[in-house]
Amino acid sequence: MNINKYKIIRLDEKYIKNIELIWLNSLPENLKSMIGGVIVKNYLIEFLSDKSNLGIGVLHANELAGFVLFGTDDNIIKKIFIKDFFVIIKSFLKSLLFFDLKKIKNFIDCAIYLFLSKKKENILKIKDTQLLIICVNIKFQNKGLGSFMIKESFKNYDFFFKKYNNVFVKTLKKDAKNISFYKKNDFKYLFEIFGRVYLKY
């Protein structure tokens, strides 16, 4: 990877459409992706308007090649749930109507997980921030961009991270590749909750 071809930037609202497209194409099984682009878009609007969060992107010839989001999204999720309640319910009912087992399972799995993880996550969030999502455009994958974004984020945006003790991330236990990726980038295993592995930097 020639790092001179890539530029790290702090994301703002003008990149929302680009982030949304990368998110939907690269993470089709993410629950927000499965519900639809409107949820992803509204999430990003809320996230990027909150200056206590940090969105980092990597550009290649002025094209957004990937992004990583750090911060907290509890209030964002609540706002989205209220604002887009009927979109979420419609998506769930549609999955029932068309017997979309993968989507139904994802809805139920997320609901149970959110209930079981709330207490432990609240303790983590007192002194730590979260790596919420990292995503690389499909055509730029397998070039080391994910690791590049994490390292450059920690190096160039120290003013954000020094407010916290640690950075934690959660990923599905079945995604061994993701767990290896985080461990390679100096994240250490913390614990597991309902099929999710938590790691801390």
pLDDT in tens, 34-76: 888 999 999 999 999 999 999 999 999 989 999 999 999 999 9
Exposure string over 112-141, b if 16+ CB within 10 A, otherwise e: ebeeebeeebeebeeebbbbbbbbbbeebe
Check residue 47 and give its pLDDT: 97
Domains of the chain, each with CATH number or no CATH: 3-200 (3.40.630.30)
Taking the C-alpha atoms of residue 26 and residue 20, their distance in angstroms, rounded to an integer, is 10
Pair 50, 72: CB distance under 8 Å: no
Check residue 73 and give its pLDDT: 93
pTM: 0.91
Exposure string over 156-173, b if 16+ CB within 10 A, otherwise e: eeeebbeeeeebbbbbee
Check residue 146 and give its pLDDT: 95
Pair 69, 40: CB distance under 8 Å: no
Mean pLDDT of 14-42: 92
Give strand pairing partners of 58: 8, 66
Check residue 72 and give its pLDDT: 93
* pLDDT tens column, 88-138: 999 888 888 888 888 898 889 988 998 999 999 999 999 999 999 999 999
Mean pLDDT score of the chain, rounded to an integer? 93
Pair 197, 189: CB distance under 8 Å: yes
Confidence band of 155 (pLDDT split at 50, 70, 90): very high
Give the Å distances, CA to CA, from 150 to 10, 37, 87, 157, 163: 13, 25, 33, 10, 17
